[in-house]
Structure 1
Amino acid sequence: MEIVEYVDPELMAIDLANRLAGELRAALSHSGRVLFAVPGGSTPGPVFDALCAAQIDWASVDVLLTDERWVRPDHPRSNTRLVRERLLVDRAARATLLPMYQPTDTPEAAVARVIEAITPHLPIAVLLLGMGEDGHVASLFPGSEGLEAALAEDAPPVVALRPPEAEEPRLTLTRPVLDGALSKHLAITGAAKREALERAQGRPESEAPVRALFGGLTVHWAP
């Protein structure tokens, strides 16, 4: 794991966007299509704002969320909505979004459909992650029933989880898909998340799921 420090979140967003753009261009030079996986939450918004205008062959980029809350795509808490409003605009509007949300009664009922839709596009070429102060990444929350299975080396690509105290159930990519990304980045801001990252190094993966992805991970941090 490598940690890159910045003086403020604005510089981090610009530098990280440039780095992601360069990696996407490099991946496209070796492949006709590439998969770019991104998180929801508040931290990636400024990165998306800087990245969406980058000179990339966006028509050859497939975008996949690392996880999704089980709400309609137009809901204020939808990660899909965030990506459509902040990333899939300007030049990046030509990219293809692979939906994580399906119109089923429960996320469990959508798992097979989502796996079928994303599997032909794997592996992830470039992965951007966020992290919570509890050490969760994607929707791999500590204390979730089924978390250990989602962190297993032979886990299916996607699982449904119902994190304790969360407002909605989730669909999430699992360890093999996330850790199998050719390039892995984690963007975090603030002292609390930096401390959470440091605590994770001494905890089991079930208590700090981010630890499962430390190998080859580049962490971008700003105060």
Structure 2
Amino acid sequence: MSYHFNEYADREMLSIALANRIAGELRGALARAERVTMAVPGGTSPGPIFDDLCEVELDWDRVDVMLTDERWVPEDHDRSNTRLLRERLLVGKAEAARLLPMFLPCQDPEERLDELAEHIRPNLPLSIVLLGMGSDMHTASLFPGADNLEAALSRNAPILMPMRAPGADEPRVTLTAPVLDGALSKHVLIFGDEKRAALESAKGKSREEAPVNAILDGAEVHWAP
């Protein structure tokens, strides 16, 4: 397994450089296909990248945007990643992009998971995926110890998997490892010494111990203190 490690002096430089890199990849993908799909994480880390990316000049009306994973909460909930996307990425010039949903109103994700997956299927493989990584070496909602982790890491995994994990306050739904790893361009964003150490410690571990290993081969890792 090999990946390219990109180190930046600070987080602002990383955000500007990575937004420019993704914008260039989107333009290249749009030159080859009528529509392209980009999957991105929630959380606070990618926010500044979204702020830069949403003002880039490109054919956003031909771009489909989706989350790598989502908490199973309504879109107006303060813990909704979809809400973050609507507020930080799908604004400005990027308002013209189309959002592929990762939540549909119901009690449990299993009730409407197939319906969500059918919206995503025509958009695969992903053109670009941006992922984060936790200090426990999880990525998307592929958490060590999660109930469906083994199935989500399988080569034969479906597009989406419901996930419940120790410490997670609500059920999640996540793109599975083969979908994430199958993206034509993969970027992993990490900040701080703790996560850099976690990335190093993932080497040699199984994918069950360090789920990030399922997507690292061929990825571009971007790190700033």
For normalisation by structure 1, the TM-score amounts to 0.99
CA distance in 1, matches of 2:113, 2:138: 20
SS at match of 2:112: helix
Q: Which residue of 1 aligns with 2:164?
A: 162
Matched, 1:47 2:57: no
Matched, 1:101 2:103: yes
Q: Which residue of 2 aligns with 1:16?
A: 18
Q: Which residue of 1 aligns with 2:117?
A: 115
Could you list the structure 1 runs, at least 4 aligned residues long, displaced by more than 2 angstroms after superposition: none
1:12, distance to aligned residue in structure 2 (A)? 0.2
Matched, 1:88 2:85: no
Q: Which residue of 1 aligns with 2:64?
A: 62
CA distance in 1, matches of 2:72, 2:113: 12
Q: Which residue of 1 aligns with 2:215?
A: 213
CA distance in 1, matches of 2:109, 2:191: 30
Q: Which residue of 1 aligns with 2:192?
A: 190
CA distance in 1, matches of 2:69, 2:56: 24
Q: Deviations over 1:125-180 (max 9, x none)?
A: 01100111101110000000110110011100101010111111100000110000
Q: Which residue of 2 aligns with 1:127?
A: 129
Structure 1 stretches lacking a partner, 5+ long: none
CA distance in 1, matches of 2:91, 2:219: 28
CA distance in 2, matches of 1:202, 1:169: 29
- State the one-letter code of the partner of 1:183: S
Q: Which residue of 2 aligns with 1:136?
A: 138
SS at match of 2:137: coil
- State the one-letter code of the partner of 2:70: E
1:202, distance to aligned residue in structure 2 (A)? 2.2
1:95, distance to aligned residue in structure 2 (A)? 0.1
Matched, 1:6 2:8: yes
CA distance in 1, matches of 2:148, 2:191: 28
SS at match of 1:26: helix
CA distance in 2, matches of 1:153, 1:220: 26
Pairwise CA RMSD: 0.6
CA distance in 1, matches of 2:79, 2:11: 22
One of 19, 24, 27 as aligned partner of 1:25: 27
1:109, distance to aligned residue in structure 2 (A)? 1.1
SS at match of 2:220: strand
For normalisation by structure 2, the TM-score amounts to 0.98
**Identical counterparts, % of pairs:** 58
- State the one-letter code of the partner of 1:137: T
- State the one-letter code of the partner of 1:92: A
Matched, 1:76 2:78: yes
CA distance in 1, matches of 2:64, 2:207: 29
